[in-house]
Chain A
C-alpha cells in the first residue's frame, strides 16, 4: 500500500511538472539572481543549482568534538570526518552527484531538481527543490554483522526544500525530510526519521555571508528501544566566502556527520557545547 501511494505521488508530481512546462512557454518570468551562492549550505543543500554543464568538487571536513579542550586544540587535532564529492549539472536545474564519506565508508549517489525558481516579478514568491540521496555502506562484509547482504547496506534521504530570497542580503530556506536505514541496531537507532529544516544566509560583505542551519529531527516513528536517546537539533553557524569558482564555509556545529540521513537518525550524543565541532567545506567549479 505504501509503495502504491509513493508511486502515485511521483506520478502526480510528474504531471504537475508537465503542466508547469506548458505554462512557462506562454510567459517566462526571469528567476531571481543566485538566491544562494552555492548548492551547499553547511549541512544542507540549497534550491540553487549551478549553470548547466558545470562540474563541482566539494571537500567537506568536520573535526572532532571540543570535549578534550586545549589538549587536542578543541577537536582540530582529533578524529575527523571527511567527504569528497562531485556534482554535475547535465541539464538546467538538475544536478546529479556522487560522494564518499568516512563514516562507514559510505558511497552516496544523489540528485537534486529545482522544480521552479523564485521570480523577479514575484509571480512565484518561492523556489522549490527536491533532493535525494542513496547511501551504500562500504565497509568490509565481516564488519557488518550477521546480515550483510547488499540491501542491508542501503540508506536513504529525501528532502523538499523551499527558499525565499529577501532582497540583496537575506535568503532563507524551509525544508522537510525523510531519512531511512534498511538495517539498524534497534536497541540504539531508529529505521526512519522525519525532520524539518530551517537555514539561510545573511550577506555582510560583497563576497561574505553569515550562514546558519537548524535541523530538527521529529519525535515520532521511534522504536521502543531508542526512546532513551534524545533527538537533538543540529545547529550550525558559520561564515561563507565566495569567489567565481569557489565557495568556502568555515563553521561550528553539533553533528559530526556529513550525510544528512546519518545526522538525522544516528546522532545520539549529548546536546552540550563541548560536543560541537568545527568544520569546513571547500568547493571548486569547472565549466564545460
Chain B
C-alpha cells in the first residue's frame, strides 16, 4: 500500500511540476478618466472596497479610513507631496503581502485624482 502511495506521490509531483510555465505579468490598460474625480466620492471608497482599511485603519500608516485618509496621505510627503510640481506621488505600488488588491478601474480613478492635483474635494 505504501509503495503505491509513494508512486502516486511522485507522479503527482511530476504532474505539478509539468504545469510550470513562465509568463510575464501584464498590467491591465487603465481606462481613461476625463471627468473631475472626487476624493470623497470616488477615491476614498476604494480604500474600503479594495480592503486597504483592513490594515490601514489607524494602527499602520497611512490611515486610510473615511474622514482620515486625506490628511494622512497629504500630511506626510512620503506619500503625497502637494508642494512638488512634477511628481506628487512617491510610493510606487503596494508590495509583498498586499501586492495589488485593486482593479484597473480603481487604479485609473486614483491616478486621475493624483494628476488633477490631489484636491480635497
* Residues of chain B at the chain A interface (Cβ within 8 Å): 1-3, 5-7, 9-10, 12-14, 16-29, 54-56, 59-61, 95-104
**Cross-chain pairs A/B with CB under 8 angstroms, 11 sampled:** A6-B14, A10-B14, A13-B10, A91-B2, A94-B2, A102-B97, A104-B99, A132-B13, A146-B29, A180-B20, A186-B25
Q: How far, in angstroms, from A6 to B64 measured CA to CA in the complex? A: 48
A146 to chain B: closest residue by CB = B26
Interface string of A127-157 (1 = CB under 8 A from B): 0000010100001001101110001101010
From 255 to 272 in chain A, residues with beta carbon under 8 angstroms from any chain B beta carbon are: 256-257, 266-269
Measured between beta carbons, the chain B residues less than 8 angstroms from A71 are 59
Do the beta carbons of A182 and B23 come within 8 Å of each other?
yes
Q: How many A-B residue pairs have CB under 8 A?
A: 116
Interface string of A53-82 (1 = CB under 8 A from B): 000000000001000100110000111010
Measured between beta carbons, the chain B residues less than 8 angstroms from A266 are 96, 99
* Residues of chain A at the chain B interface (Cβ within 8 Å): 3, 6-7, 10, 13-14, 17-18, 21, 64, 68, 71-72, 77-79, 81, 90-92, 94, 102-104, 111, 113, 132, 134, 139, 142-143, 145-147, 151-152, 154, 156, 158, 180, 182-186, 188, 191, 256-257, 266-269
What's the minimum C-beta distance from A8 to chain B, rounded to whole angstroms? Answer: 11
Do the beta carbons of A7 and B14 come within 8 Å of each other?
yes
Q: How far, in angstroms, from A13 to B7 measured CA to CA in the complex? A: 10
Measured between beta carbons, the chain A residues less than 8 angstroms from B10 are 10, 13-14
Measured between beta carbons, the chain A residues less than 8 angstroms from B102 are 143
Measured between beta carbons, the chain A residues less than 8 angstroms from B23 are 147, 151-152, 182-184
Do the beta carbons of A14 and B101 come within 8 Å of each other?
no
Do the beta carbons of A182 and B21 come within 8 Å of each other?
yes
Do the beta carbons of B96 and A156 come within 8 Å of each other?
no
A155 to chain B: closest residue by CB = B20
What's the minimum C-beta distance from B119 to chain A, rounded to whole angstroms? Answer: 28
Do the beta carbons of A94 and B20 come within 8 Å of each other?
no
The contact of A134 among B16, B55, B61, B100, by CB within 8 Å, is B16
What's the minimum C-beta distance from A74 to chain B, rounded to whole angstroms? Answer: 11
A256 to chain B: closest residue by CB = B97
What's the minimum C-beta distance from B26 to chain A, rounded to whole angstroms? Answer: 4
The contact of B60 among A68, A81, A151, A188, by CB within 8 Å, is A68
What's the minimum C-beta distance from B18 to chain A, rounded to whole angstroms? Answer: 6
Q: How far, in angstroms, from A184 to B17 measured CA to CA in the complex? A: 17
Do the beta carbons of B103 and A142 come within 8 Å of each other?
yes
Measured between beta carbons, the chain B residues less than 8 angstroms from A78 are 55, 59-60
Known: A68-B61, A77-B59, A132-B16. A147 touches B6 (CB 8 A): no
Q: How far, in angstroms, from A11 to B93 measured CA to CA in the complex? A: 44
Do the beta carbons of A103 and B97 come within 8 Å of each other?
yes
Do the beta carbons of A156 and B16 come within 8 Å of each other?
yes
Do the beta carbons of B25 and A185 come within 8 Å of each other?
yes
Do the beta carbons of A94 and B60 come within 8 Å of each other?
no
Q: How far, in angstroms, from A6 to B14 measured CA to CA in the complex? A: 8
Do the beta carbons of A113 and B9 come within 8 Å of each other?
yes
Q: How far, in angstroms, from A254 to B97 measured CA to CA in the complex? A: 13
